[in-house]
Amino acid sequence: MLRDAVDAILKSTRLDRSHDVPYLAGYSRDGGTIYIDKDLPRSFRAGSTRVAIDRFLILHEAVEKTLIDELGLRYQHAHQIALRAEQAAVRAAGISWREYDRFMARYIKEADDVIDRLPADLDIKPYRDEHDVRLLRRMRAEAARDRKRQGGRTTRRRKGR
């Protein structure tokens, strides 16, 4: 069932693992791309089983983005619901939530520390809603450095367009 759900999600979105993404995963402003941090391993070992993790994160991010955009939920509420969906999917796959969560927790701090290569269209609403001012400043500084590296070109849209 999870495989079918994620396959359906991926028909309308694309997965990108080539950027630094604070909080490990995120999505583009238009919801067309789900980003997973480039340094997050694609799997971990739970006992004698190798567990691929992308499907669980894709499910989480798609649920979260949809709840925010379609139902107008605040990030914190959408995140909690998406987390429960992710948890149910992990358990349905026969994987210990505790092991999975422990694995993810090890990498969240690392993802927050390195933001040298942010997606240009990363939706920053989750970071704003979390009032993560320090991280937002770092993200804006990196975006400015990136624009400078690209010769000052910008993809920002003016209000009303």
Backbone angles phi, psi at 81, to 5 degrees: -70, -45
Percent of the chain with pLDDT over 70: 89
Q: Exposed, middle or buried: residue 11 (CB in 10 Å: 0-12, 13-18, 19+)? A: exposed
Q: 10 pLDDT band (50/70/90 cuts)?
A: confident
* Integer angstrom CA distances of residue 15 from 50, 88, 97, 102, 159: 21, 22, 23, 24, 28
Tens-digit pLDDT profile for residues 45-73: 998 999 999 999 999 999 999 999 999 99
The pTM of this model reads 0.84
Which has more pLDDT, 143 or 94? 94
Q: Where are the domains of the chain?
A: 2-149
